[in-house]
Amino acid sequence: MLVHYPGPWSPLLGRLALKEIPYQNPILVWTFVLVSCAALAIFAAITYHRAWGYLWREWLTSVDHKKIGVMYCLVGLVMFFRGFIDGVMMRTQQVMAVGPQSPGYLGALHGYLPPYHFGQIYSAHGTIMILFAITPILIGIMNIVVPLQVGARDMAYPYLNAVSFWLTASATALVMISLFVGDFSHAGWVGLSPLTELAYSPGVGVDYWIWAVQIGSVGTTLASINIIMTIIKLRAPGMTWTRMPIFCWTALSTSVVGLSSFPVFTAAVALLSLDRYAGTHFFTPGLGGNLMLYTDLFWIWGHPEVYYVILPAFGIISEIVPTFSEKPLFGYMTMAAASIAIGGVSWSVWLHHFFTMGAGPGVNSFFSIASMLVGIPTGVKVFNWAFTLYRGRIRFDLPMLWALGALVLLLTGGLSGMMLAMPAINYTVHNSVFVVAHFHNMLNVVGFAAIGGINFWFPKVFGFKLDERIGKRAFWFFSAGTVVLFGSMYALGFMGMPRRIDYIPFVSWRPLLMSEEAGIFLFLIAAYYMIKQMYVSIRDRAQHRVTGPDPWRTARSLEWLTHCPVPFYNFALLPHINSRDEWAWRRQNGLVNLRPDHYEDIHLPNNTFVPMLLGALAFGLGFGMVWRMYWLAGLSLLGIVVAVIARSFEPDSGHTIPGVRIREIEETLPEELDGMEPVADVAGGVVAFQARTAPRAPAQEP
């Protein structure tokens, strides 16, 4: 059954041997030294502060949706940094390796990266950025915000939520370890078929890719189920579908897309691994395989996946823009409809990723029109944001800047997207850097929105704001980098430059490549300011501390109706929803008192280490399969089954916090609402309120 591959194998270590550790390569050795130093420093710091117990109790075994969300974001941000460094390396290689006269270093003919190393870097960059950076950050934000916005104490399945996170974390660990033990895939984040077949990629790189994305996608599927169920089942009383915050609509749409598309990916990658491990012929060129089957299955997932990341980004923009325009979102119903429509259309456009495969004109026409249809709901969203600004009172706080940047990028990305949706144009730019520029443009929409969202909700979770001044510097450098880098890349697309080349055969492309390098340098400065922003904000958190529930003063939805930072039980008493923008409604009607007149017992789930154990076992399964240490893989699989069954026998009834205790906690929390300026609200016909003296209810009639 099992196939042969070149190279030795031993029962104990499988394909792994000492010589699989690339210690001859100075780049990897230095990376390893840096990473180990950083890891040692972190370990030492935790030990010095005796924080292991705290870490274990409060974070690693936690099932609290906010903490899991924060951990998701943390993993995503670390991987974002890793992917970014990959990007810097790629840009530098391309600017160095121009023309036959360009010198080569470190064993490369040109530049400093040999083709195979470059191949791994671009593949890791794509895989990491899409699956292990942007996706975890967005799931993290959804994890934090969705239960708060629907007025719940936690996700529908807190335990499953932790399992999803730890699966994602172990997949991420698999990607990271491929850096130092063995190789990563060189076949792109899409797993170019049949390049991923054993005959053309006999190393372990593709196996690393397979198991990392496989484990990660299981985690994401489970997370989607959780978010859908939270929205369907745990909405606070009074929160009808049309009173749900718009971010929840996008989270719902995106989770439906994720739930229905990730399994297709799972199937495609599973069949590919059968080809590689069991010698079947699903996607081989010969003996009855069909490589386009893989391409189809991949993109049936792949296209919905890109909407999986863009929809929450739209949701974030839709939350930020009204807040800083001091107006409700324009056209709420159409915005919700557009979100669902984008999710629906995402299923019928996958073929535009291979217009050049030689399909007939009828097929290409169909998918061309279907792809263009996406432009309609997206256009609706842009116009609705514009009309949200109309007759508003617009402030340019940091989250707003990021959201507006995303909006501008969405316009240019839409322009190039409509070009790519036309097969006749697509034929000329399909595999060129034009496509790369387009999807970086669009993923930057997601990136801008995600960073805006992090800045927006950061005080909600941690109780202090991120530094605005440094953050704005980061924003401007990031924007400038985006324009310079991807503007040049678009232009190179018109020069016909293919993507994924490590050596540039034409000297005429050099000026624009240098401009791209300048762009990545701007990104580097932006990254510096982002890290500095994080560092300074945490260092000076006392100065950045916010009081009261709403640090932005004009926020609208339900998550602002509780303290900053949010206590572990979210709401002392679950709110009853009276309006679409509940917090804005209460604020405008002078009902901002956070303290209910009585308290009740709160039931919460217990912490558990099982999700982490499952993550570790999943890592063992993946690592064992990559190196074909079948005993390790088998034991890990067995361990997973046993752990799941054992857990089902554990009567996990959770714990109850008595209402008296909640009252104690609540009374220690500040209830300062000062600094909240009276807001004249024409809508309710109700005038200003005095925050400090606001009575519980009812408010005085004007």
Binding residues for other proteins restricted to 1-60, rule: CB under 8 A: 1, 6-7, 19-22, 24-25, 28
Site stretch for other proteins (CB under 8 A), options 63-71, 141-149, 441-449, 598-606:
598-606
Beta bridge partners of 681: 686
DSSP per-residue letters across 277-297: HH---SS-SSTT--HHHHHHH
In this structure, are residues 61 and 72 in contact, taking their beta carbons and an 8 Å threshold? no
479 is an interface residue for other proteins by CB under 8 A:
yes
Binding to other proteins by residue 508, rule CB under 8 A?
Answer: yes
* DSSP H or E segment with residue 579: none
Among the candidate windows 50-58, 498-506, 525-533, 622-630, which touches other proteins by CB under 8 A? Answer: 498-506
Touching other proteins, residues 281-340 (CB under 8 A):
281-282, 284-293, 297, 300, 325-334
Is the Cβ of residue 70 or residue 341 nearer to other proteins in the bound state?
Answer: 341
Of 378, 395, 381, nearest to 555 by C-alpha is 395
Shortest Å, Cβ 41 to other proteins: 27
Judged by CB under 8 A, does residue 280 bind other proteins?
A: yes
> Should residue 656 be labelled a site residue for other proteins when binding is judged by CB under 8 A?
no
Number of neighbouring beta carbons within 10 Å of residue 98? 21
E strands, 267-335, are none
Q: Which of residues 119-138 bind other proteins (CB under 8 A)?
A: 119-120
Instruction: List 264's β-bridge partners, or say none.
Output: none
Which residue lies nearer to other proteins by CB, 419 or 665?
419
Per-residue contact flags (x/-) with other proteins for residues 568 to 597, judged by CB under 8 A: -----xxxx-xxx-----x--xxx----x-
Regarding 477 and contact with other proteins (CB under 8 A), the answer is no
User: Residue 655 in 3-state DSSP?
Assistant: strand
Q: Which is nearer to other proteins, 73 or 310 (CB)?
A: 310
* Binding of other proteins by 655 (CB under 8 A): no
119-152 per-residue burial string, b: 16 or more CB within 10 A, e: under 16: bbbbbbbbbbbbbbbbbbbbbbbbbbbbbbbbbb
Identify residues 91-110 at the interface with other proteins (CB under 8 A).
Answer: 100, 107, 109
- Residue 319 structure tokens: 């939350």
Whole-angstrom CA distances from 582 to 235, 238, 325, 391, 588 are: 13, 10, 17, 22, 10
| Residue carrying the six token digits 């034409």 | 506
As a whole number of angstroms, the distance between CA 308 and CA 254 comes to 5
| Least Cβ distance, residue 486 to other proteins (angstroms) | 9
Which range binds other proteins by CB under 8 A, 244-252, 309-317, 351-359, 443-451? 351-359
Kind and range of the H or E element at 8?
none
Minimum gap (Å) between residue 463 Cβ and other proteins:
23
Please state, in angstroms and rounded to a whole number, the distance separating the CA atoms of residues 272 and 1.
15
**Partners of 421 in beta bridges:** none
Measured from the CB atom, the residue of 228 and 520 that comes closer to other proteins is: 228
Site for other proteins contains 565 (CB under 8 A): no
Query: Is 117 among the residues that bind other proteins (CB under 8 A)?
Result: yes
The three-state secondary structure class of 380 is helix
Shortest CB 149 distance to other proteins, Å: 16
Per CB under 8 A, contacts with other proteins among 159-178 are none
Tokens for 489? 């890349």
Q: Select 12 or 333, whichever has its Cβ closest to other proteins.
A: 333
**Chosen residue from 56, 59, 81, 157 binding other proteins by CB under 8 A:** 157
Is the Cβ of residue 344 or residue 487 nearer to other proteins in the bound state? 487
Going residue by residue from 245 to 274, which x/- string records binding to other proteins, judged by CB under 8 A?
--------------xxxxxx-xxx--x--x
- Report, in Å, the least distance between residue 455 CB and other proteins: 15
645 binds other proteins (CB under 8 A): yes
Residues sharing a CB contact under 8 Å with residue 469, sequence separation 6 or more, in sequence order: none
Which of the ranges 32-40, 308-316, 407-415, 449-457 carries the binding residues for other proteins, by CB under 8 A?
407-415
Q: Is residue 567 a contact residue for other proteins (CB under 8 A)? A: no
- The residue among 250 and 479 lying less far from other proteins, judged by its C-beta, is 479
Phi, psi angle pair for 549, to nearest 5°: -80, -25
Inter-residue contact 122 to 188 (CB < 8 Å): yes
CA distances from 4 to 187, 201, 569 (A): 21, 13, 55
Binding of other proteins by 544 (CB under 8 A): no
Member of 4, 11, 358, 542 binding other proteins (CB under 8 A): 358
Interaction residues for other proteins, span 211-240 (CB under 8 A): 221, 225-226, 228-229, 232-233, 236-238
CB 323 within 8 A of CB 236: no
Closer to other proteins by Cβ: residue 77 or 97: 97
Question: What number of chain residues touch other proteins (CB under 8 A)?
Answer: 197
Indicate the residue among 437 and 454 with the shorter CB distance to other proteins: 437
**383 lies in the site for other proteins, by CB under 8 A:** yes
Using CB under 8 A as the binding rule, whether residue 669 contacts other proteins is answered as no
The residues, any chain, with a CB within 8 Å of residue 526's CB and separated by 6 or more, are: 474, 475, 477, 478, 481
Binding test (CB under 8 A) with other proteins, winner from 85, 408, 531, 657: 408
Q: Tell whether residue 346 is a contact of other proteins (CB under 8 A).
A: no
Verify binding: residue 415, other proteins, rule CB under 8 A: yes
| Residue 99, φ and ψ in degrees, nearest 5 | 80, 160
> Does 600 sit near other proteins (CB under 8 A)?
yes
> Where does residue 565 rank: exposed (0-12), middle (13-18), buried (19+ CB within 10 A)?
middle
Cα(201)–Cα(191) distance, integer angstroms: 11
